[in-house]
Structure 1
Amino acid sequence: MSKNLVLQTDFGLNDGAVSAMYGVAISVDPAIRIFNLTHEIPKFNRWEASYRLYQTITYWPEDTVFVSVVDPGVGTDRLSIVVKTTDNQYIVTPDNGTLTHIKKHIGIVDAREIDEKVNRLPRSGESYTFHGRDVYAYTGARLAANVISFEEVGPRIDVEAVIGLPKPEAHIEEGVIKGNIDILDIQFGNLWTNIGRELFHEKGIEYGETLEVTISNGTHQLYKNSMTFGRSFAESRLGEPLLYVNSVDKLGVAINQGSFAKAYQIGTGANWKIDVHRVEE
């Protein structure tokens, strides 16, 4: 197993929490290479944690160990687990929905509950509020450093029982492509939908066509307008909206050199819906 350890949390970098996780991992094995996926997941947002893992994990080599800690249920009876993916990577996390996209789109072949009698930072047994340091970073480092095998994490649990969050699927209904706003391209304010490029192929939609886009939160419509389906931002004028294919082969919605999310106060998740269809339909 490699010694790559990739950390994701909602802790931010304003205090010593992430540094403490680094220290625990390096104390297990100074040769471990530690990387940050992100520590800016919005507080308690398990959906975004799930998506960021999905967005990133396939670009890392086999045997990489990921630790994801977005844990509003810390100290409760929720399980602490490690899963092995179909691509032979490992994710150490609370079993709280953080693995939704991995389970659906990549696949989990085995899952283990962390045995805290063995895989817990020594002398931390009375602490119930920092499992990211005491359980997850410690177990992830031991796994990455080959101090323990995957089987030594703890008892096997049913892969099918790994918790998932509600995840609607994009589809075509009466000629309209219907999907959800999965996530934001935060730096630029673009919307990343769950609409795969193949649905546009199924409808025969070509680059350059004008499409009508409607965005709603539940039953409340926030946006309705026509925009061009373009290959790149260069095909639209400054300030114009456009549809494009993003880096995970899904449909994105953007304003050229502007923030679509900020302009229209758009959020993400199962309640945020997007409809796309040809203007003449």
Structure 2
Amino acid sequence: MSNNLVLQTDFGLSDGAVSAMYGVAISVNPAIRIFDLTHDIPQYNIWEGSYRLYQTVAYWPEGTVFVSVVDPGVGSERRSIVAKTAQNHFVVTPDNGTLTHIKSSIGITAVRIIDETVNRLPRSGESYTFHGRDVYAYTGARLASGIITFEEVGPELPSDSVIELPKPEASITDQVLTGNIDILDVRFGNLWTNIDRILFQDLGAKYGDSFEVTIENDTRQVYKNIMTYGRTFADIHLGEPLLYVNSLDKIGVAINQGSFSKAYHVETGASWKISIRKIAKIIGG
């Protein structure tokens, strides 16, 4: 193991919950290295927790252990698991869909259910509402520190039994590329789609080309306009919209030095659709 433990939750930092997780991990091993992925996942938003793992995990060294706690079903019959990825990272999490993007994009090679008779904070057995501290931080710290092996987490489960959220795929029909708004680049308000750059290039896209972009929420049209495909934000004027390739090699939608999501009240998820159609290049402006 790498001795690295990375934490992600929807707890925020306004109380002591995250600090308690730190304390448990350090009590397991004072030399453990703890990092925050984020604690600002919107409350109960399993989809966003899944996406942020996908956005981050591949950039960490092999053996890194991630603890992801977005757990609206805490205390219920949902399973507590540790998954080993195809790139030899480990994710400690409730089995509620948090592994959706990792499973489809990176791959999961093995899964074990956490044996709480062994891998649970001592003297916490009567508490059922803070598994992030009592089960996940404790197990994650033991695994990252080499106190337990992956095999000692608990019984093995079939990898295909891991719960997945619905995850639509982008496609092209009659030269119209359709996808979803998967997530926001939160601080800047850019939209990140599920459209791969390579699929986008099947439209014959080149930098400087013009595209008609339509965004719908279910069947309600929220936005429709012409925008340029740019290499960088500097390729367009201040306040203009553009299509670009984001840091995950997906197509993004932005306003140069503005928040697209706030300007047009765009959110994320399976009901938020985007359609892109190439048009004759707009001259002038």
Q: Which residue of structure 1 aligns with residue 246 of structure 2?
A: 246
Q: AA paired with 1:205? A: A
Residue aligning to 1:30: 30
1:90 corresponds to which letter in structure 2? F
In structure 1, the partner of 2:58 is 58
Q: Which residue matches 2:3?
A: 3
Give me the TM-score of the superposition, normalised by structure 2.
Answer: 0.98
Q: Equivalent pairs: percent with the same residue?
A: 71
Give the letter aligned to residue 160 of structure 2.
E
Q: 1:55-134 alignment to 2 at 5 Å?
A: 55-134=55-134
> TM-score under structure 1 normalisation?
0.99
One-letter code aligned to 1:76 = S
Residue 122 of structure 1: how far off its partner (Å):
0.2
Summarize deviations over 1:138-181 as a string: whole Å, max 9, x none: 00000001110000000001100100000000110111000000
The Cα of 1:202 is off from its aligned counterpart by 1.6
Rounded Cα–Cα distance in structure 1 between residues aligned with 2:276 and 2:261? 17
Per-residue displacement from partner, 1:85-120 (whole Å, max 9, x unpaired)?
000000000000000000000000000000000000
Whole-angstrom distance in 2 between the partners of 1:196 and 1:107: 18
Aligned to 1:207: 207
| Matched residue SS, 2:157 | coil
Distance in 1 between residues matched to 2:76 and 2:11, nearest whole Å? 19
Q: 1:171 aligns to what? A: 171
Q: Which runs of 5+ in 2 are unaligned?
A: 281-285
2:283 is matched with which residue?
A: none
* Residue identity in the other structure for 1:141: A
> How many Å apart are 1:205 and its aligned residue?
1.1
TM-aligned CA deviation for residue 199 of structure 1: 1.2
Q: CA deviation at 1:243?
A: 0.4
Counterpart of 1:73 in structure 2: which amino acid? G
Deviations 1:192-241 (A, max 9, x none): 00000001222211110010000001111100000000000000101000
Letter of the 2:68 partner, please give it: S
- Contact kept, 8 Å, 2:203 with 2:278, in 1: the verdict is no
Deviation, 1:278, is 1.2
The letter for the 1-side match of 2:143 is: L
CA distance in 2, matches of 1:220, 1:279: 23
> Which residue of 1 is the match for residue 258 of structure 2?
258
1:44-79 CA-to-partner distances (Å, cap 9, x unmatched) read 000000000000001100000000000000010000
State the secondary structure of the residue aligned to 2:156.
coil
Alpha-carbon RMSD: 0.9
Q: Does 1:160 align with 2:137?
A: no
Is 2:48 aligned against 1:48?
Answer: yes
Residue 14 (structure 2) pairs with residue 14 (structure 1): yes
Q: CA deviation at 1:279?
A: 2.4
Query: Which residue identity lines up with residue 123 of structure 1 in the other structure?
Result: R
Q: How many residues align?
A: 281
Work out the CA distance in 2 between the residues paired with 1:84 and 1:278. Answer: 41
- Equivalent residue, structure 2, for 1:185: 185
In structure 1, C-alpha distance between the alignment counterparts of 2:204 and 2:186, rounded to whole Å? 30
Deviating beyond 2 angstroms after TM superposition, the runs of 4 or more aligned structure 1 residues are none
Structure 1 gaps, min length 5:
none
Paired with 2:165 and 2:191, the residues of 1 have a C-alpha distance of: 20
